[in-house]
Amino acid sequence: MEFYRERLWSSWSRTQVTMTDIPPAKAQLLGRTSDFDRGRTAAWIASLKHVSLTDDTRKHVSLTDDTRKHVSLTDDTCKHVSLTDDTRKHVSWRAVRDSIGHTIHVVSDRPFEELADDLRLGLRLMAWLSSRPVVWYWWDQPWARVLPAGVDPGPEHVNGGWAVVGIPEVHVYRREEAHKVLIHECIHALGLDVPEAAIAPVRVKFETALGRRLWPHLGEAFTEFFAEWLWCIVAPSLATAKNRWTAQLRCAESQAAQVWVRIHDSLENEETNVFAYYVLKWVLMGHTETVLLAPDTSVRLWYDWWLAARPALEKLRRSATHTESLDLRLGMTCGL
């Protein structure tokens, strides 16, 4: 494992990029919003359209009746959107590209210049992960993953992006952990996930034990594990990378306990990969070397690993029962 980490960190430390501004694909950022997050991003971007109606923006934004069919600012949606004067004066559209062809298109409520460091890091990550050009669409909205007290986690508390396997485009719709989510979605886009055919029979075992249906993509446990491993490599020194992984293991254990408190007795079918992201991922971290070196063949061991980890997980749950009455932050890197 140490050799693997050293090789990865060495390649990261050598990765450098140029960054050139290009015209932003506003139409794509507008058109790719949907109900993937129950309308929140669509409402947020709609508020930005109303805010920044310059002549340039009007070329891309039409607030006609046809547009309004796609963006509905109902009372429920508006709970998520702040239309204060402060928000209105910080609307930025920006796009950058490196020499390979990796591209980022972003809409943000931060000043144009403030985006530069985040965009440069994004290009560097994409150059590190792929020699094939990748496009990142980023809705840079300040939406933290917060789980209210007494509520079971759902998509609005957990998810932050999407990609289609084998298509070199990724989508991220939160500012929180945006670069870690970029890595996660690149794993999908670059086809680095464990094979779905290996996952299906293992998922049935988990569903039988838990007494409910899990979200089909149980392989997200590996994807998130690998994304967090790679994110910890992104450090100024190898020693820092090692320390970050140690901290990430602590973070994952704490979150596994807190989430298991909420879901251990649930009978509701999953709406997103809560069990995979927080509980099974933590189980895989107990077998880091095996998972990293043989991810596909490790899948058949996941259920047995989980059974072996259950006593420790139950002990963690009992120590975290008080957290059910607390609001929890569910960002998966605990601020790393």
Residues 316-333: tens digit of each pLDDT: 999 999 999 999 999 999
What is the per-residue burial (b if ≥16 Cβ within 10 Å, else e) of 280-305? bbbbbbbbeeebbeebeebbebbbeb
> Mind listing the pLDDT tens digit for each residue in 227-250?
999 999 999 999 999 999 999 999
Q: Count up the domains in the chain and report the number.
A: 2
- Considering the domain architecture, whether residues 201 and 286 belong to the same structural domain is answered as yes
pLDDT at 68 over 60: no
Residue 250, domain member (yes or no) = yes
Full residue range of the structural domain in which residue 286 is found: 196-329
Residue 237, domain member (yes or no) = yes
Q: First vs last Cα of the chain: how many Å apart?
A: 21
CB 183 within 8 A of CB 230: yes
Please state, in angstroms and rounded to a whole number, the distance separating the CA atoms of residues 142 and 140.
Answer: 7
The more confidently predicted of residues 78 and 149 is: 149
- Considering the domain architecture, whether residues 137 and 204 belong to the same structural domain is answered as no
Residue 56, domain member (yes or no) = yes
- Considering the domain architecture, whether residues 206 and 112 belong to the same structural domain is answered as no
Instruction: Pick the closest to residue 115 from 99, 94, 100 (CA basis).
Output: 94
113, 142, 171 — which closes off a domain? Answer: 142
- Considering the domain architecture, whether residues 102 and 206 belong to the same structural domain is answered as no
Please state, in angstroms and rounded to a whole number, the distance separating the CA atoms of residues 34 and 41.
Answer: 8
Token pair of 29 as six digits:
């950022």
- Considering the domain architecture, whether residues 229 and 117 belong to the same structural domain is answered as no
Q: How far is CA 180 from CA 66, 171, 200, 258, in A?
A: 36, 12, 26, 21
* 104 bridge partner residues: 96, 136
- Considering the domain architecture, whether residues 23 and 132 belong to the same structural domain is answered as yes
Residue 243, domain member (yes or no) = yes
Q: How far is CA 55 from the centre of its chain?
A: 34
pLDDT at 84 over 70: no
- Considering the domain architecture, whether residues 203 and 320 belong to the same structural domain is answered as yes
99, 124, 142 — which closes off a domain? Answer: 142
DSSP 8-state class, residue 169: E
pLDDT at 192 over 80: yes
| SS3 at position 78 | helix
Residues in the chain, total: 336
Instruction: Pick the closest to residue 256 from 272, 237, 275, 270 (CA basis).
Output: 275
| SS3 at position 310 | helix
Residue 292, domain member (yes or no) = yes
Per cent of the chain over pLDDT 70 is 88
Residue 173, domain member (yes or no) = no
Question: What is this structure's pTM?
Answer: 0.89
Give me the mean pLDDT over the 304-314 stretch. 98
Give me the mean pLDDT over the 1-27 stretch. 96
Angle value at C-alpha 93, between 90 and 98, nearest 5 degrees: 130
- Considering the domain architecture, whether residues 38 and 135 belong to the same structural domain is answered as yes
Question: Within a 10 A sphere around the Cβ of 324, how many other Cβ atoms?
Answer: 14
Give me the mean pLDDT over the 55-74 stretch. 38
> Mind listing the pLDDT tens digit for each residue in 292-307?
999 999 999 999 999 9
Residue 3, domain member (yes or no) = no
CB 304 within 8 A of CB 284: no
Token pair of 8 as six digits:
């990865």
Residue 152, domain member (yes or no) = no
Phi, psi for residue 146 in degrees, rounded to 5: -125, 125
Phi, psi for residue 178 in degrees, rounded to 5: -60, -40
- Considering the domain architecture, whether residues 201 and 272 belong to the same structural domain is answered as yes
- Considering the domain architecture, whether residues 129 and 205 belong to the same structural domain is answered as no
pLDDT at 70 over 90: no
- Considering the domain architecture, whether residues 200 and 323 belong to the same structural domain is answered as yes
pLDDT for 307 equals 98
Token pair of 286 as six digits:
């107990």
pLDDT band at 276 (very low <50, low <70, confident <90, very high): very high
142, 158, 180 — which closes off a domain? Answer: 142
The more confidently predicted of residues 105 and 34 is: 105
- Considering the domain architecture, whether residues 25 and 98 belong to the same structural domain is answered as yes
> Mind listing the pLDDT tens digit for each residue in 34-63?
777 888 998 898 887 544 334 343 333 333
pLDDT for 49 equals 54
